[in-house]
Every structure is written in structure tokens, then in C-alpha cells.
Structure 1
């Protein structure tokens, strides 16, 4: 996954639709949260086993929501001047130090 390319493509969509005015860090964080809620809704009321065995339709829907979340987070990183690859790798390294044997 080339994060720079994905970010540039999202910027083109944003710019073509004059959405930059709405893409403040606050709004992007809120939008990602809304999309996360839509992902959670797919699993609401399912048992643990059912949540691991989604129908093809629900699995496709979950994938769409995950995509929405990732794309909003890419835009948020861009607005904040964060390198997503770097922050994810840094957090993973932190988790490895904290939780690995």
C-alpha cells in the first residue's frame, strides 16, 4: 500500500469537490469516528462466533467501512503533518517493547 499515492488521490477528490474547507483535523477525526461507528454497527448483537463468520454481504460492507476509516485517517495525518507510516511503525515498536516477551 503506497500511502503517499493514496493521500494524493484523496486530495484530488477533496480538491475537485471543494471539500478542503471542511477538512479540519477536528472534522476529519469526527468523520473517522462516525465511520468506525458504522463498522461497529455491523457486529452489533452478533456472538463472538458470528462476528468471525460474516456473510459475503456483511464482509464486503465491513471492508467498505474499514476503507472509509483508513482514508479519513490518511487525510487527518496529512492535515496534521504526520507521516502515517512513521506513526504506525513507532506505535508498533512501542507495543512490541511493552507487550512482547
Structure 2
């Protein structure tokens, strides 16, 4: 997804909310609550699956996951728009922070958190 795709989708979402007079409900707090609800719905799909089943979704289950992932993305895009946060820039910045926290030489093949590695 390019920056232009994100900006265009945010514009579509903005218009969607405006047409329905939903902007009044799209406070950051409300959008975060809605986002968490959608993440919860997504997690329900995977809750009792084995790792293998979760990695090979098919049919109705895959379609449900697709829909919930889309809901998560849409709420995240709307939230970032309302907060005037450039998602692409923020993601690049965070990736650089993570590069510093998790150097390859120390963390390759490790699931440890940066503060769990002993010197």
C-alpha cells in the first residue's frame, strides 16, 4: 500500500463518515474503542486454532479474517486521520527505533524483548 493509497482511503473514509454525520462520534477515544473491538473479533477467529490451522485459513474462515483485518485497517486509518498522523512516516520512524533496539547481531533468531537480553 503506497502513501497515495492510504491518503485516498482516508479521504474515502472521511467522506463516508461525513455523509452519515458520524464525525461527531469519531473522537480518538471512540475510534480506539472501536479498533479494539475489531481486533477482538479478529482474535476470536484464531483463538482455538492450532498454529498450522491459523497459517492455512480457507473458505469462510479466511473470508471472516479478511473482513476483520479490513475493519482493523479502516479504524486505524480513520484514527490516524483524525489525529493527523502520517502512518507511513510513523511506521518508518518506528521501524528505525526497532532497528536500534533489536540489532541483528544480538537478536537474530531470538524472541526475547530488548530489555531481556543480558550483557
Give the TM-score, by structure 2 length: 0.80
Shift of 1:26: 0.1
Q: Deviations over 1:13-47 (max 9, x none)?
A: 10111100000000000100000000000011111
The corresponding residue for 1:67 is 70
- Which ranges of 4 or more aligned residues in structure 1 deviate by more than 2 Å? none
Q: Unaligned 5+ residue runs, structure 2?
A: 105-119
When Rg is computed on C-alpha atoms for both structures, the one with the higher figure is: 2
**2:86 is the alignment partner of 1:83:** yes
Between 1 and 2, higher relative CO (CA 8 Å, sep ≥ 6) is seen in 1
Shift of 1:56: 2.0
Deviates more, 1:91-100 or 1:39-48: 91-100
Tell me the secondary structure at the aligned position of residue 18 of structure 1.
coil
- How well do the aligned residues superpose, as a CA RMSD in angstroms? 1.0
Instruction: Measure the CA separation in 1 of the matches of 2:19 and 2:63.
Output: 27
Aligned length: 101
Instruction: Measure the CA separation in 2 of the matches of 1:29 and 1:88.
Output: 18
The corresponding residue for 1:33 is 36
Q: Unaligned 5+ residue runs, structure 1?
A: none
Q: Deviations over 1:68-95 (max 9, x none)?
A: 1111111111111211111111111111
Instruction: Measure the CA separation in 1 of the matches of 2:66 and 2:99.
Output: 27
Deviates more, 1:64-73 or 1:88-97: 88-97
